[in-house]
Structure 1
Amino acid sequence: MLTITVCAALSAAGLAVSFLTAYRRRFVKATRLAAISLLPIGLAMAGLIGLGGKVIQAFSSWAADLVFKPTVWAGFAVLALAVVLYLVAGFAQARSGGGTRREPAEDGGRPAAPPAASPPALRRGGGREAAPAGEDFSDIEAILKKHGI
Structure 2
Amino acid sequence: MLAETICSAVSAAGLGIAALTAYRRRFLAATRIAAYALVPVGLVLTGVVAWVSGMVFKPTVWAGFGLLALAWLLFMTTRAVERRRLGAAGKPAGAAQGSPAPQAVAPAASAPSLGSGARPRPAGRKEPRAAPADDFSDIEAILKKHGI
**Normalized against structure 1, the TM-score is what?**
0.39
Q: Which has the higher contact order (CA 8 A, sep 6+)?
A: 2
Greater Rg over alpha carbons, structure: 1
**Normalized against structure 2, the TM-score is what?**
0.39
